[in-house]
């Protein structure tokens, strides 16, 4: 939904073990330039932080935070960053991601007025392999455009015309609002976004936001759902027997209290790192914090190594 902030990850996610150690502090993500262009250091180029959307091999939409050169048509530039080009596919494949747009989806033009973005693609034939791919295309474009404050809805057009449906039946006859990203069923209750880790075939670790629906929209409930609802391709790396007893802000530090079973995480630096990223990303929709402390039972949890934990930027 437009009102729910999506926490986005930089594309440098992550070869495990390559990050510098900074204790348990929350640090700002670095960005990667996917443009393939090399800018001379003396040139001053105005850039803008944006969120592009891609998909992984499991069919999940993955938000990626990057910097692009500022232009008047910045919204169109974001969509171009998502287009199915050989250069982009080459950059993304090593990270287990790919464009969610059909290869024929080249932009004719875009107009934004009165909260409505009309995007016109230069084709009426799209190569789409499944309903899931079709939904990824539509939802990814809408999420990218509605991240801008001037856009509330998106109207798809093809060769200057509005069509009723795409090949697998997705209705695009009317303006579309953003929907919850990677939403589970059923969609009743309060929506929360859980962040799971996944590994690409090339051993990159990245994080996938999944919207689920709970009777209570709070940090404790979200974390306990994160622990209990892992999927075969996505995981939190938190021990299954662990439970969150309480979450509390003390100054600018978020304190998370687990039961003793959280100690089963000890001994695996990579699992500690992946678990803490899933935890902090999930918690950031409820709290603004600069540091995190984790307790297991009555004692503060001591990580195997000093561990850098980060909070992603809010977008939308």
| Domain-terminating residue out of 142, 158, 174 | 158
- Supply angle C-alpha 291, 297, 303, rounded to 5: 50
The pLDDT of residue 12 is 32
In the predicted model, what is the mean pLDDT of residues 56-75? Answer: 89
Query: Is 262's pLDDT higher than 50?
Result: yes
Residues 153 and 221 in one domain: no
Residues 124 and 224 in one domain: no
Q: Which of 158, 179, 194 is the last residue of a domain?
A: 158
Residue 174 lies in a domain: no
Which one is predicted more confidently, 232 or 133?
133
Domain presence at residue 245? yes
Query: Do 61 and 130 fall into the same domain?
Result: yes
Give the range among 28-32, 200-204, 270-274 with minimum mean pLDDT. Answer: 28-32
Determine, yes or no, domain membership for 56: yes
Which one is predicted more confidently, 53 or 39?
53
Note the pLDDT of residue 252: 94
Which pLDDT band holds residue 267 (cuts at 50, 70, 90)?
confident
138 and 70 belong to one structural domain? yes
- Residue-range definition of the domain harbouring residue 84: 31-158
pLDDT over 60 at 38, yes or no: no
pLDDT exceeds 50 at position 17: no
Q: Would you mind telling me the total number of residues written for the chain in this entry?
A: 316
Domain termination site, one of 114, 141, 158: 158
Tell me: pLDDT of 30 over 70: no
Angle at 75 between CA 73 and CA 78, to 5 degrees: 115
Range in 133-137, 184-188, 246-250, 300-304 with the lowest mean pLDDT: 184-188
Do 76 and 149 reside in the same domain of the chain? Answer: yes
Q: What pLDDT, on the 0 to 100 scale, is given for residue 231?
A: 79
- Banded model confidence at residue 6, pLDDT cuts 50, 70, 90: low
Q: DSSP for 260-281, please give it.
A: GGGGGGTT-HHHHHHHHHHHHH
Question: What is the overall mean pLDDT for the chain?
Answer: 84
Provide the domain count of the chain: 2
Residue 34 or 290, more confident: 290
Q: What is the pLDDT of residues 136-195, one digit of tens each?
A: 999 999 999 999 999 999 999 999 999 999 999 999 999 999 999 999 887 789 999 999
Q: What is the pTM of this model?
A: 0.81
Q: Check: CB of residue 32 under 8 Å from CB of residue 10.
A: yes
Q: What is the pLDDT of residue 47?
A: 86
Residue 12 lies in a domain: no
Extract the runs of DSSP E, i.e. beta strands, from the chain.
6-10, 26-27, 47-56, 61-69, 97-98, 107-113, 116-121, 153-158, 190-199, 205-214, 244-250, 253-258, 291-296, 299-300, 309-310, 313-315
Which sign, positive or negative, has the C-alpha torsion 17, 22, 27, 30?
negative
Which tokens go with 217? 């929209």
């Amino acid at each position: 939904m437009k009102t729910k902030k999506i926490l986005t990850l930089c594309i440098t996610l992550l070869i495990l073990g390559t990050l510098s150690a900074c204790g348990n502090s929350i640090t700002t993500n670095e960005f990667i330039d996917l443009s393939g262009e090399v800018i001379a250091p003396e040139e001053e180029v105005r850039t803008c932080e944006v969120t592009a959307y891609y998909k992984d091999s499991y069919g999940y939409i993955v938000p990626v935070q990057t910097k692009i050169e500022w232009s008047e048509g910045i919204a169109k530039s974001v969509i171009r960053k998502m287009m199915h080009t050989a250069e982009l596919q080459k950059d993304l494949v090593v990270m287990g991601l790919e464009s969610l747009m059909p290869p024929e989806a080249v932009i004719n033009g875009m107009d934004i007025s009165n909260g409505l973005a009309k995007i016109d693609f230069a084709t009426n034939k799209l190569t789409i392999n499944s309903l899931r791919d079709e939904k990824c295309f539509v939802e990814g474009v809408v999420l990218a455009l509605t991240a801008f404050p001037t856009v509330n809805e998106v109207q798809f057009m093809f060769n200057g015309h509005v069509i009723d449906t795409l090949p697998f039946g997705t209705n695009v006859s009317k303006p579309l609002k953003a929907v919850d990203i990677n939403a589970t069923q059923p969609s009743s209750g309060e929506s929360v976004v859980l962040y799971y880790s996944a590994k690409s075939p090339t051993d990159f670790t990245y994080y996938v936001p999944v919207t689920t629906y709970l009777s209570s929209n709070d940090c404790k409930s979200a974390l306990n759902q994160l622990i209990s609802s892992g999927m075969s391709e996505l995981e939190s790396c938190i021990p299954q027997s662990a439970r969150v007893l309480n979450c509390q802000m003390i100054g600018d530090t978020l304190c998370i209290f687990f039961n003793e079973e959280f100690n089963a995480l000890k001994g695996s630096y990579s699992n500690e790192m992946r678990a803490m990223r899933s935890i902090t990303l999930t918690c950031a929709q409820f709290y603004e914090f600069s540091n995190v402390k984790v307790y297991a039972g009555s004692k503060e949890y001591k990580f195997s190594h000093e561990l850098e934990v980060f909070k992603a930027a809010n977008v939308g």
